[in-house]
Structure 1
Amino acid sequence: MVNSVRSRKGNGNTKISSEEEKMIAFTSDHRHFSLIRTLHMADFITLLNGLCGVMSIFSSLRYCLDENDKSKLYLAIGFTPFGLFFDFMDGKVARLRKKSSLMGQELDSLADLVSFGVAPAACAFCVGFRTPVDNAILIYFVLCGLSRLARFNVTVANLPKDSSGKSKYFEGTPIPTTLSLVFTMAYWVHKDWIMNDLPYGVVGQGTFYEFHPIILLFFLSGCAMISKSLHIPKI
């Protein structure tokens, strides 16, 4: 492995890789606020992505408390594109500054899960996907996003690389593609196609199996995220 310890020829010294040096410094730092000290500018931008996701969820909760105020629902939807902006900028800043922390990739995945997994599911609940079957599919959608991000963290080092060292493709659709569902819901809200007026109505109304057929968009999105055979070229 690239980050393994290599012995120098001719003596008993060992050469420690830069990643191992970072890990030793990270685990041996016991100063106050040592975690904050280890973060770089790119990491703080990643946290802004997570902040957008949290604010979207809070706005969804506020809408559920007062469903006559659609501005809160618009806010819930509106925060997610800003999350995408910060998700794009953190990597750009890390490359420009040539600095990244050990936690950068983990922070990025966790922030993406909040902004592009949990937040869209909360918005979906707000617009009317509230039956037990609807909720089960939304849970499946979020767990697919979680699994997809975990797989990416494990396999990214082994994916084929181009000349610049970047992965040539994604396995499964990247989780930010769920913004297409958010924009779709924004259109429904604009048309006032929410709650009892969701597109394609409801099946099995009044039974335990009641659900909205349009919720299958979230099911398909989840399936696409965890697909291994679906390769999305990386731009």
Structure 2
Amino acid sequence: MSIKKYVPNAITLCNLLCGCIAVLFAVNDQMEYAAAFVALGIFFDFFDGFFARLFNAQSEVGLQLDSLADMVTSGVVPGIVMYKLLAHASGLPWGTQFEAFSSPLPYVGFAITCASAYRLAKFNVDDRQTGSFIGLPTPANTLFILSLPLILIYGEFAFAKAILENTYVLIAITALSCFLLNAELPLFSLKFKSYGFAENAVKYIFLIVSVLLIIFLHFLSMPLIILLYVLLSLIFPDKKAQA
């Protein structure tokens, strides 16, 4: 039996491993490392599908395993990060040993974990999302959430830090995150079937603007990139995703 059959699932398990490590770092307020391992996990998440198609090794087990791995990397981790952000905004200093916080407010952050689980379950049974997405993909949402503590820690913009230390803003971000994950919003995919500008104009514009935002705004660029992604998808809807 060819070993190629097992390569995609092995890569998926690397995603899961990265998610587990990111959980530990997030719990201990080491958000830089948590973000790094989440990014690595998302990298593996992209390439498991690539190798599954390359080796013609797609399987139902692989589909379910992919969602289970994403549930940790792109479901549990952002929930913990939002818990930490809300706890910090409620008065708990960074670096405080993780324990049950006396206020119930930070637990609102785990709504992101629940919404991510629901989205992943829907994705597995929705045959409309083969070439595009309906609702914000969990990896994109996770990058959005993971960028927030990095803005607080390394951000050069005082106004952004002040906004992200407001509990009402964080609750609003949590609600928006949960909505975007499961909304019936057709969003374009960054997969290219051809490279002509005419048929990929929106994708090229998105990528160029995203690079410029990263260069000039650093960590603050990530929430803006996600919002730009949603905005461009609404202005230029993918008709195939709506079918």
TM range (shorter): 0.5 to 0.7
Aligned length: 170
Percent identity, please: 28
For residues 164 and 152 of structure 2, the distance between their equivalents in structure 1, rounded to whole angstroms, comes to 12
Q: Which residue of 1 aligns with 2:201?
A: none
TM-score after normalising by structure 1: 0.64
Deviation >3 Å, runs of 4+: none
Pick closer, same or farther for the CA change 1:189–1:200 going to 2, 3 Å.
Answer: closer
Pick closer, same or farther for the CA change 1:200–1:103 going to 2, 3 Å.
Answer: closer
**Match 1:214 to one of 161, 164, 170:** 170
Q: Which residue of 1 aligns with 2:21?
A: 55
Give the Å deviation of 1:134.
Answer: 3.4
AA at the equivalent of 1:48: C
For residues 201 and 181 of structure 1, the distance between their equivalents in structure 2, rounded to whole angstroms, comes to 14
Aligned pairs for 1:176-187 within 5 A: 176-178=139-141, 179-187=143-151
AA at the equivalent of 2:148: T
Pick closer, same or farther for the CA change 1:154–1:129 going to 2, 3 Å.
Answer: farther
Aligned pairs for 1:158-197 within 5 A: 159=128, 167-178=130-141, 179-191=143-155
Give the Å deviation of 1:184.
Answer: 2.9
> What SS does structure 1 have at the residue aligned with 2:133?
strand
**Match 2:120 to one of 149, 157, 178:** 149
AA at the equivalent of 1:224: L
> What SS does structure 1 have at the residue aligned with 2:57?
coil
For residues 25 and 156 of structure 2, the distance between their equivalents in structure 1, rounded to whole angstroms, comes to 18
Q: Which residue of 1 aligns with 2:183?
A: 227
For residues 53 and 192 of structure 1, the distance between their equivalents in structure 2, rounded to whole angstroms, comes to 28
TM-score after normalising by structure 2: 0.62
AA at the equivalent of 1:47: L
For residues 82 and 198 of structure 1, the distance between their equivalents in structure 2, rounded to whole angstroms, comes to 29
Give unmatched runs, 5+ long, in structure 2.
Answer: 91-102, 192-243
Q: Is the radius of gyration larger for structure 1 or structure 2?
A: 1
> What SS does structure 2 have at the residue aligned with 1:40?
helix
Q: Is 1:200–1:212's contact at 8 Å kept on the other side of the alignment?
A: no
Aligned pairs for 1:5-154 within 5 A: 40-63=6-29, 72-127=30-85, 128=88, 131-136=103-108, 138-154=109-125
Q: Is 2:115–2:182's contact at 8 Å kept on the other side of the alignment?
A: yes
Q: Which residue of 1 aligns with 2:195?
A: none
For residues 116 and 223 of structure 1, the distance between their equivalents in structure 2, rounded to whole angstroms, comes to 16
